[in-house]
Structure 1
Amino acid sequence: MKRERAASATASLGAWVSELDVTGVPAAVLDRLALVLLDVVGVTALGASLPEQRALADAWTAPPGPAPLIGGGRLVTTDAAAWLNGVALVSLELDEGHKYAKGHPAAHGFPAVLALAAELDSTGADTAAALLAAYEVAARFGRATTLRPGAHPHGSWGVPGAAAGCARLLGLPPGAAAAAIDTAAGMGIAGHFDSATQGNPVRNAWLGASATSGLAVARMAVAGMARTTGTAALSLGTVLGEFEPEELTADLGTRWDITRGYFKRHASCSFTHPAADAVLDLRAHPAFRIDGITHVLVETHVLGAGLSDVDWSNRLSAMFSTPFVVATAALTGEVGPDSPLDDPDVQALASRVRLVEAADLTTRLPAERAARVTVAFDDGTSLTREVPNPIGDADHHPLTESDLIGVLGKWLPGPVVDRAAALGRDLPGLPRVGAALRELAGTDEKELS
């Protein structure tokens, strides 16, 4: 039965998490972890600067505690930091993701691990191992899960990653770590993708829920209240979609999914990025003329074919609108956190963008998330550009540390970015991480403005 197979695979995964030691991790993997941590910290700080995120933090009225609101200027309780940082991290659609996991492994687990590590004042080595555990377990659950059509990946298959990272930080033995992971598989949220396209911020809250659920089930395991029963086969594999347990342990210890992810340079859904990249390439062509565009055809794969709305109501819905992203890229050369939503020129051009699925691009999934863009002009000419993956994908123009610093530095003060980069580089060797993590809250008004 699939439930027994899920229980067996989860037990093996729990043993791997419990015994994970960064001294045995390849240097290239730790280098990638440093980049992911730089991205997570920087993007969270950027999200924390949004007026609505500041208002949310104020409304939370969390008492003082040991964990930072990254970029938020306060230290609060562990659970409040995990929830609020999780929401901030995904609020601008700039967080790292993974095409094979079909979502965002780091966003599901890193906020919980960082908050708990600050509370425990864990060693850098343990924190690095916990972050790796969170990423790898979440990515494997993402690979194993095929959600039902219409389901959004936030807050579902990634919760076991948050549990795994917290279990590793707490030093749980194999059986207890597995029980935490198994229990977390029953804590997923059934979120609909249309919540994102319609601009409902509940979509961001699903990541806050993932973080606090990971903390909760790890504590349940400490108390002996968690069991390994193959829960994922029921929740992920029956209620929310389909589940293949063998994916949890495939190439375990030799394949590091953290090295296969992507970083973002556009503040928008990853499905829109190849189209934005193609438009930016065309924009540099001598024959490209903004005032002569009659229409734009965007061909994409089945996963991105639904992002066709031209009536965005807020930033979240705009970030899930390929017409908005394409028009903004064509007119301004950038899709950023501060790209205007009510520019009449953007709205006019977006109305002339048509998004369709191309069967040949769908067949190239999951290795490629391609797009083909054709811009037609009033003189009867046209320009076409096809890209196989967004820039920043591990398989297509991957971003280096200097690239990431450059992207984040466009929108964040230098000291914030430098602090995030230093933490990523230094983490495995830090004797204790509490002080370094609490510095991420920021206290300089210039950094937080």
Structure 2
Amino acid sequence: MSEEHVAELGKWVAGLAMVESSPVDRLGLVLLDVLGVTALGTGQPEHRALHAAWRPPAGPAPLIGTGARVSVDAAAWLGAMALVSRELDEGNKYAKGHPAAHGFPAVLALAAELDSSGADLAAALLAAYEVASRFGRATKLRQGMHPHGNWGVPGAAAGCARLLGLDAAATAAAIDTAAGLPVAGHFASATSGNPVRDAWLGAANVSGLVAARMAAGGMARNTGTAALSLGELLGSFDSTELTAELGTRWDITLGYFKRHAACSFTHPAVDAVLTLRGPDIEGVLVETHALGAGLSGVDWDNRLSAMFSTPFAVAAAAVTGAVGPGAPIDDPEVRALARRVRLVEADDLTARLPDERAARVTVTYTGGGSRTAEVPNPIGDADHHPLGEADVAALLRAWLPDRPGLVERAVALSRDLPGLPATGDALRALDGKEQS
């Protein structure tokens, strides 16, 4: 029965303290990435327009990088949308998605309101990540469903429950209630470039807040909702994954950071083609695993749909040498080469999932000849050229060249968090006011 595993998970979250050096170190790195990538997102024109149209009430939580301090719910929703808008947020191949994005915005916003200690905030963020990732492992979504906004909602609830100081039973009730608040979104929304895909993360974070508040008010129950909503309705659900190696395996140490502004399934192919660049490319064959084989579109009409196109990502890398947040989506040379990129599934690469998300790329040249490169995982994966603080900070400085002060404040917070007696002011300092 899933309620038994959720009860055990709730007990673990309620008693979680920051005592393990490995997850603490990795947590700081994930937090740094979340803060910087959120600031990148909030600075985009469409997000400035959304903020203006939303008119969120003033409040205690920073809308990172905007100069605004808004209500907890608005910061959670708008921050989550911004975090995922450029496809640069941290992810986890075992969870099959993005655990941090499902809960960190809500937990950070609530901590700013509560002025939580650094130790409590660190524990809450770790709880949010680990619970979301375990639900990701436990859930196998139906064909065609996107993983944003469904299995990750319990992570947001767990983190918020930890900040609120709920006991084991109430925390379990919050987690199970959150599992009953999933979004059933289709993957085609991402490949067609519909930003509703970003809003699913806003909904996930606010739903996690709602579930934790319901539990705090005594209105939530642990009845095994997860097995019904995430299982019977949205796919299948193995509740034993929720407690497997609980407290000894830290999924946060197994994630990946992104160097390319595109769906993670495109990254191994991009890394490979960057080693094969040369003049007069005739064509590109990309062999990938089953998860990435559908990203074959060549008719993108906005940045989101381009970021979910392997032909775009490969062509942009081959032509310009990078796939950054401002990669040209309308460059004629990029579009022409993308139409000469062929994407196919390779059974041998699919067989290597989930430990490897490999790609094999063969480039042929107009002058004759071809070259092949194979990559087991994208650079930045914990198992393949992992990135450290200096690497992540360097990426953020490159993406936010006009916000050096904000990046340095994010670096300082990510390092100092566990020892801070209170975090409200440090979090609000990330609003971006008076930053050079």
TM-score (norm 2): 0.99
| Whole-angstrom distance in 2 between the partners of 1:325 and 1:267 | 9
Say which SS state the counterpart of residue 215 (structure 1) adopts: helix
2:406–2:435: 8 Å Cα contact kept in structure 1? no
Paired position in structure 2 for 1:15: 11
1:391 and 2:379 aligned? yes
| Whole-angstrom distance in 2 between the partners of 1:422 and 1:383 | 44
| Whole-angstrom distance in 1 between the partners of 2:337 and 2:262 | 18
Q: Note the alpha carbon deviations across 1:136-171, whole angstroms, 9 max, x for none.
A: 000000000000110000000000000000000000
Paired position in structure 2 for 1:343: 331
Q: Note the alpha carbon deviations across 1:56-83, whole angstroms, 9 max, x for none.
A: 1111111110000011110000000000
Q: Per-residue deviation at 1:445?
A: 6.1
Question: Residues 245-394 of structure 1: matches in 2 within 5 Å?
Answer: 245-283=239-277, 288-289=278-279, 292-394=280-382
| Whole-angstrom distance in 1 between the partners of 2:146 and 2:434 | 37
Say which SS state the counterpart of residue 440 (structure 1) adopts: helix
Q: Identity, % of aligned pairs?
A: 71
Q: Per-residue deviation at 1:380?
A: 2.5
Q: Which runs of 5+ in 1 are unaligned?
A: none
| Whole-angstrom distance in 1 between the partners of 2:168 and 2:405 | 40
1:414 and 2:414 aligned? no
**More off after superposition, 328-337 vs 405-414:** 405-414
Say which SS state the counterpart of residue 55 (structure 1) adopts: helix
Q: Per-residue deviation at 1:411?
A: 1.3
Q: Per-residue deviation at 1:91?
A: 0.2
Q: Give the counterpart of 2:228 among 218, 234, 241.
A: 234
| Whole-angstrom distance in 1 between the partners of 2:404 and 2:269 | 30
| Whole-angstrom distance in 2 between the partners of 1:318 and 1:37 | 27
1:138 and 2:126 aligned? no
Q: Give the counterpart of 2:432 among 442, 445, 448.
A: 442
| Whole-angstrom distance in 1 between the partners of 2:411 and 2:69 | 21
Question: Residues 149-298 of structure 1: matches in 2 within 5 Å?
Answer: 149-283=143-277, 288-289=278-279, 292-298=280-286
TM-score (norm 1): 0.96
| Whole-angstrom distance in 1 between the partners of 2:42 and 2:204 | 18
Q: Per-residue deviation at 1:379?
A: 2.7
Give me the CA root mean square deviation.
0.7
Paired position in structure 1 for 2:115: 121
Q: Per-residue deviation at 1:52?
A: 0.3
1:432 and 2:422 aligned? yes
Moved over 6 A (4+): none
2:286–2:362: 8 Å Cα contact kept in structure 1? yes
**Taking structure 1 as reference, are residues 310 and 157 closer, same or farther at Cα in structure 2, changes over 3 Å only?**
same
**What amino acid is aligned across from residue 312 of structure 1 in structure 2?**
W
| Whole-angstrom distance in 1 between the partners of 2:88 and 2:102 | 14
Q: Give the counterpart of 1:111 among 83, 105, 110.
A: 105
**What amino acid is aligned across from residue 311 of structure 1 in structure 2?**
D
1:100 and 2:94 aligned? yes
**Taking structure 1 as reference, are residues 300 and 16 closer, same or farther at Cα in structure 2, changes over 3 Å only?**
same
Q: Note the alpha carbon deviations across 1:397-442, whole angstroms, 9 max, x for none.
A: 0001000011111111322211111111100000000000001111
2:193–2:305: 8 Å Cα contact kept in structure 1? yes
Q: Which runs of 5+ in 2 are unaligned?
A: none
**What amino acid is aligned across from residue 9 of structure 2 in structure 1?**
L
| Whole-angstrom distance in 2 between the partners of 1:380 and 1:342 | 28
Paired position in structure 2 for 1:46: 40
**Taking structure 1 as reference, are residues 365 and 282 closer, same or farther at Cα in structure 2, changes over 3 Å only?**
same
1:35 and 2:18 aligned? no
| Whole-angstrom distance in 2 between the partners of 1:18 and 1:321 | 42
**What amino acid is aligned across from residue 344 of structure 1 in structure 2?**
P
Q: Note the alpha carbon deviations across 1:209-244, whole angstroms, 9 max, x for none.
A: 011001101010011110001111100011100000
Q: Per-residue deviation at 1:341?
A: 1.1
Number of matched pairs: 434
| Whole-angstrom distance in 1 between the partners of 2:407 and 2:314 | 28
Paired position in structure 1 for 2:2: 6
Paired position in structure 2 for 1:60: 54
**What amino acid is aligned across from residue 107 of structure 2 in structure 1?**
V
**What amino acid is aligned across from residue 7 of structure 1 in structure 2?**
E
2:122–2:418: 8 Å Cα contact kept in structure 1? yes
2:174–2:220: 8 Å Cα contact kept in structure 1? yes
Q: Note the alpha carbon deviations across 1:382-403, whole angstroms, 9 max, x for none.
A: 0100000000000000001000
Say which SS state the counterpart of residue 313 (structure 2) adopts: helix
Say which SS state the counterpart of residue 297 (structure 1) adopts: strand
Say which SS state the counterpart of residue 274 (structure 2) adopts: helix
| Whole-angstrom distance in 2 between the partners of 1:316 and 1:30 | 33
